Amino acid sequence: MRQQAAIAAKVFIQRDYTNGTICQFQTKFPSELETRIDKQQFEETVRTLNNLYAEAEKLGSQSYIEGCLACLTAYTVFLCMETHYEKVLKKIAKYIQEQNDKIYAPRGLLLTDPIERGLRVIEVTIFEDRSLTR
């Protein structure tokens, strides 16, 4: 009985460009979700995602070392090693999965990893709540 509920609507959380092209999403709570989830909960999720993306794009020692190593090995190191950004993306994917399992799916929502949309939007799928139509 793995029948998913029908999709009722989709909300797209857009990127927040106020600080340039760094990856940030708008934390503004969309009105479509007002009846489905707490505002705090949702904003917390988006804020955590923003922090994770900031960590991925950070110009820190790790990225610097990675760059030097890549230059020295004529970029062959990319064949065997995962870049810092990719590592954080995996972390983000895990976080989203966990959020979906714990918080969003029980409320009939589903977050889609924004990397699938080119880091342009976070897609929130709203499922039909048939139980209330009875």
Partner 1 sequence: MPGFSGGGVGGGVGGPVSAPPRPFRPSRYVPVSAATTFLVGSTTLFFCFTCPWLAEYVSAVIPIYNAVIFLFTLANFCMATFMDPGVFPRAEEDEDKEDDFRAPLYKTVEIKGIQVRMKWCSTCRFYRPPRCSHCSVCDNCVEDFDHHCPWVNNCIGRRNYRYFFLFLLSLTTHIMDVFGFGLVYVLHHRQQLDTPHAAVTMAVMCVAGLFFVPVAGLTGFHIVLVARGRTTNEQVTGKFRGGVNPFTNGCLRNISHVLCSSQAPRYMGRWRSPQAVEVQPPFLRPSLTEAQLEAKVLDNGIQNDRHSTRSKSSLDQMESQSADAEPPPPPKPELRYPGLPRADTEESSLLTEAPPTPSMYKYRPAYNSPGRNHTALSHPNKMIRGESLDSPSPSILQSSRQPSYRSEPSSLDGATVVGGSVGARRGGGERGEGPGGPGATGVTGGMSGYSLTGRSYTSYPSSLVLSAGGSRSSSLRSAQTAHNPLATLQSEGTTDTSYKSLANQTPRNGSLSYDSLLTPSESPEFESAAHELSPQKPHALFPLATGATITGQSEVVSPSSPLQGYTSPFLSAQIAQQREGQLLQGSATFSSPHRAYLRAVSPTPPSSSGPSETHHLLQHNQDSTSRALRAPSSSSSSPGVRSLEPPVSPPPRSLSLGKSHSYTGEAGPQHKPRSTGGGTVLGGGGAGGGQQAPQSTSRTVVANHTTSKPGGGVKKVTGVGGTTYEISV
Q: How far apart are CB 7 and partner 1 at their closest, in Å?
A: 7
CA distances from 1 to 6, 21, 52 (A): 14, 44, 36
Q: Does 24 engage in binding with partner 1 (CB under 8 A)? A: no
Q: Does 37 engage in binding with partner 1 (CB under 8 A)? A: yes
Of residues 90-109, those binding partner 1 (CB under 8 A): 93, 97, 100-101, 104-109
Q: Does 52 engage in binding with partner 1 (CB under 8 A)? A: no
Q: Does 47 engage in binding with partner 1 (CB under 8 A)? A: no
Q: Does 51 engage in binding with partner 1 (CB under 8 A)? A: no
Q: Does 54 engage in binding with partner 1 (CB under 8 A)? A: no
Q: How many residues bind partner 1 (CB under 8 A)?
A: 76
